[in-house]
Amino acid sequence: MPTNLQASVARWSATFFLFMFAALAVFAQSDETAEADRAFERRGYFEAAREYVALYAQIKSDVGLKGYCAYQAGESYRLHHEPEMATEWYDKAIGLKYGDRDNRVFLVYGDALRDQEAFDEAIEMYARYENAGGDSQVAENRIEQADLAAIMIEEPESRYIVEPMVLLNSASYDFCPTFTGKDGDELVFASSRESSTGTAEDPITGQAYMDLFHSDMDKKGRWSEPEPLSNTICTEHNEGSACFDSNGKTIYFTRCMEMDGSNLACDIYFAKKQGSGYGASMALGIINRDENDSSQVGHPTLSPDDNILIFASDMPGGFGGKDLWYVEAIDGSFAGAVAQNLGASINTAGDDMFPHYRDNGDLYWSTNGREGLGELDIWKAEAREGKLAWAEPKALPFPLNTANDDFAISFREGAEEGMFASNRVGGKGGDDLYSFKLPPLEFCYQAYVYDYDTGMPLSGATVTLESKDGSSNSFTTDSEGELSLCDGEIGEGMTFSADVAFEGYIGTGDVVTTEGLTESTTLAREYLLKEIVLNKEYDMPVVLYPLGSAELLIDASVNSADSLNYLVDLLERNENLVIQLEAHTDSRGSASANKKLSQDRAETCVNYLAEKGIAAERMVPVGYGEDALLVSDAEINRLPADERERAHQRNRRTVFKIIRFDYKPGE
């Protein structure tokens, strides 16, 4: 990724600057390296690499200076994003014992290897850096990142599909995509390709100065050949990193003015749409510059309501190299607005750049100030209630982030897809555009319906699925008693009730949901239906009563009200059933009192079910008193004293029988 805010925007840290100044203080006094050093200092890495390589060939006896030139050539290539060339020159520097002079050569050598996904070799170099007296915490962090990146590539955790934009990418730098147009079918991005407006060579990249290019997507999803925007936007200077207001009528973009081979004067410009082109572009004026102010301003992105513009800058008052700042519109205009820092919850001591304010309020940006997979990684902070309120930032997963630079993400409105830029392995140019999309989760609902007693499949059973909004669909099981819905019928975030019915059987069902699921899942359910046998006792959850009482027993061991809800569910699912509720007592007390008590208990159950909406004519309460004990008095008397009460309690029970299955609601 090229330098400056609209290009590579200084991916180095304050530590690197301190190192560079120290290195230059030692060697810049040499007339032989002065020109190369000046090119490097002003970030003209293409030019600097060429100079250092030429000097290396000329130096014969000064091993220290030769090692310095090799190292500086490696640095120039690394910062120019040519890691293969960088490793070649770092290797030469190490061979000349440059590591004895500066252990950082091992660290950056490791970074260049990591950028080529040579993770094992990179880890070895990080270890050499630490053994040579380097910062152990830095080395350990790099080793951990390399290990994690290697694992992610081998076993990616996310469902994102990432593909290079082959028809849009060039052998040059292509980056900072942004969508516009009514349906997000227009794309604007920055590029240094040969068709750029400027004819001069950028000393930073060795290519043409950047321009903004435009491409349209046809009905088949193909993008047209990119063309530069109008000459009011594209100039002989560097233009890049654009965004549009919500109606696509105004473009905001970064322009870095070329000044004596340097591109330090970066500002945000804007222009109004005029027909198929744009009117005159004007500086937004976030900074009132004087000759002593070299602050860079760029990477604009607008809030969904167009009232807040977030951008990147190294202006004073930040937390690190480049921070994210914002200005708020006053009466629809950013003129005169005072820039404010987004704060420490977003910004870091590193570089925080390339913000993207998504239409749902989420904020995305790239940073090298947090632990990730590589240098620049893309991070996300989900929107929360309130102005500029976001949740704790999270790094996007592989393959959106890699061990290389990943930045400038942009979403199509209302979709889990878009584009971003990366200099990852396998690209076509310095930076390339990559599309991404998050395919929908795939869910299957598989129901297996069997006879409870025989285990035989029930072919032709009806499975009715009813969603929260009341819509329902019915299906039948096949010859194996199976129903399989796997062709998109079950979507994300769905909850539905399943009712399973079969002629002559007690229907059942449950609630099935995909809410909260983050992976494609098969929701398999097995339903065992009991055949209806009249006047047979059916098992049900235990309903118990205190001694001598018709109240439902609710204590730490049993909740009889919850137990009766089983019958509520059963009768609601099987609207044709009429049941007899039978209550029993233990043998203590008189037979007549127990008869009355059991009748009261049966009626307590019926009343509970009636309160839950079950029609009274579907329930017959019968009290059997002590006539049908499960445990006889003789058996109880033989039990230890501490077990007798539990045996009596077993006799104080309630069961149900089906006495009819021809009930018709409403008749």
95 lies in a domain? yes
211, two tokens: 């321009």
Q: Which of 74, 63, 137, 61 is nearest to 101 (CA)?
A: 63
One domain for residues 352 and 218: yes
One domain for residues 419 and 485: no
CA–CA separation, 536 and 16 (whole Å): 84
Q: Which of 431, 508, 548 is nearest to 190 (CA)?
A: 431
One domain for residues 480 and 587: no
One domain for residues 131 and 271: no
One domain for residues 146 and 92: yes
pLDDT in tens, 233-286: 998 888 999 999 999 999 999 998 866 555 457 899 999 999 888 999 999 988
Q: Decide the pairing of beta strands 377-381 and 394-395.
A: antiparallel
One domain for residues 295 and 356: yes
Q: CATH number for the domain including 475?
A: 2.60.40.1120
Question: Which stretch of DSSP H or E encloses residue 241?
Answer: strand 238-244
Is 442 in contact with 487 (CB distance < 8 Å)?
A: no
Helix, strand, coil shares of the chain as percentages rounded to 5? Answer: 25, 30, 45
Q: What is the DSSP letter of 591?
A: H
One domain for residues 394 and 285: yes
CA–CA separation, 102 and 506 (whole Å): 81
8 lies in a domain? no
Strand partners, 378: 366
Give the other-Cβ count within 10 Å of 121's Cβ: 15
Q: What is the DSSP letter of 6?
A: T
pLDDT in tens, 167-209: 999 999 999 999 999 889 999 999 999 887 766 677 667 777 8
In sequence order, the 6+-apart residues with CB closer than 8 A to the CB of 149 are 114, 117, 119, 373, 374, 398, 402, 403
Is 68 in contact with 27 (CB distance < 8 Å)?
A: yes
One domain for residues 577 and 447: no
pLDDT of residue 5: 47
Strand partners, 126: none
295 lies in a domain? yes
Q: Decide the pairing of beta strands 406-411 and 417-422.
A: antiparallel
4 lies in a domain? no
Q: How many domains does the chain have?
A: 4
Give the other-Cβ count within 10 Å of 501's Cβ: 22
pLDDT of residue 347: 97
CA–CA separation, 198 and 328 (whole Å): 34
| Regions in the chain scoring below 70 on pLDDT | 1-29, 198-200, 203-204, 258-264, 289-293, 667
CA–CA separation, 300 and 327 (whole Å): 10
One domain for residues 499 and 350: no
One domain for residues 481 and 544: no
Q: Which of 645, 650, 648, 593 is nearest to 623 (CA)?
A: 593
9 lies in a domain? no
Q: CATH number for the domain including 377?
A: 2.120.10.30
Is 273 in contact with 285 (CB distance < 8 Å)?
A: no
6 lies in a domain? no
CA–CA separation, 12 and 403 (whole Å): 16
Q: What is the DSSP letter of 501?
A: E
301 lies in a domain? yes
CA–CA separation, 657 and 538 (whole Å): 6
One domain for residues 387 and 296: yes
Q: State the residue range of the domain holding 180.
A: 161-437
CA distance readout (Å), 641 to 412, 521, 585, 647, 650: 75, 53, 20, 10, 15
Q: What is the DSSP letter of 217?
A: B
- For 330-353, give one letter per residue: b (16+ CB within 10 A) or e: eeeebeebebebbeeebbbbbbbb
Q: CATH number for the domain including 581?
A: 3.30.1330.60
CA–CA separation, 462 and 441 (whole Å): 27
